[in-house]
């Protein structure tokens, strides 16, 4: 059991017959009245996000999410196939199950496949991935305002903002949690 006062980002628990993951939380102590915990929760099965308020003493059963390392092999139309590194079995997942993780997946990349009670519901890519820029406009001399960025299309099809000095063909490191540029890779 976990109480609402112990919520942290990433904690999973069962509530109202569903499994939720804490996306955001805030402990609120108003000057008048009892304290409460304001949360933003993601339903791990459906992907829907809801906002709920809990008393800090409310208890919910903790949900155990299994994370298994698998390699992304290939896609065949709408299905994406992942190979178990131990048994070499292939697990097909749909675009809906992959969600936002799809934008950073490359073939042969090792990811964590998430399941709850044997039902696969998502994929967790590595925190940082190295991807090649396939299309971006050149930065012009004089365009050096602090923090200036430009859009760049990556080899996976994702588009992110990068600094002006980054060019086509360069390999960059991207934070998959936020989808932001981190640094160039030599």
Query: What mean pLDDT is reported for the chain?
Result: 86
At 186, is the pLDDT very low, low, confident or very high (cuts 50, 70, 90)? confident
* % of the chain with per-residue pLDDT over 70: 96
Query: The whole model's pTM is what?
Result: 0.69
Domains of the chain listed by start with CATH number: 2-60 (2.30.30.30), 66-124 (2.40.50.140), 128-184 (2.40.50.140)
At 40, is the pLDDT very low, low, confident or very high (cuts 50, 70, 90)? very high
Q: Going by DSSP bridges, is the β-strand pair 159-163/149-154 parallel, antiparallel, or unpaired?
A: antiparallel
Name the residue among 80, 76, 77 with its Cα closest to residue 101.
80
Could you give the CA distance from residue 181 to residue 8 in angstroms, rounded to a whole number? 26
What would the pLDDT profile of 95-154 be if each residue is shown by its tens digit?
Answer: 877 777 788 888 889 998 888 888 787 788 888 999 999 998 887 665 565 678 889 999
Angle at 109 between CA 106 and CA 114, to 5 degrees: 105
- Residue 141: per-residue pLDDT: 61
Residues in the chain, overall count:
186
169 in the Ramachandran plot: left (φ > 0), alpha (ψ -120 to 50) or beta? left
Q: Which of 9-18, 48-57, 92-101, 129-138 has the lowest mean pLDDT?
A: 92-101
């Amino acid at each position: 059991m976990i109480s609402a006062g112990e919520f942290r980002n990433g904690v999973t628990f069962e509530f109202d017959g569903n499994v939720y993951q804490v996306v955001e939380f805030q402990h609120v102590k108003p000057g008048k009245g009892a304290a409460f915990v304001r949360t933003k929760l993601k339903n791990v099965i459906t992907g829907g996000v809801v906002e709920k308020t809990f008393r800090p003493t409310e208890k919910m059963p903790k949900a155990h999410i299994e994370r298994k390392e698998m390699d992304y092999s290939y896609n065949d139309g709408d299905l994406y196939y992942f190979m178990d590194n131990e048994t070499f079995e292939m697990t097909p997942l749909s675009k809906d199950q992959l969600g936002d993780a799809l934008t950073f997946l490359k073939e042969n990349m090792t990811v964590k496949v998430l399941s709850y009670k044997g039902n696969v519901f998502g994929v967790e890519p590595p925190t940082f991935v190295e991807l090649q820029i396939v299309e971006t406009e050149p930065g012009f001399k004089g365009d050096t305002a602090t923090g200036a960025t430009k859009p760049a299309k990556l080899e996976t099809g994702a588009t992110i903002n990068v600094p002006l000095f980054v060019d086509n063909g360069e390999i960059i490191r991207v934070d998959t949690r936020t989808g932001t540029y981190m640094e160039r890779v030599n």
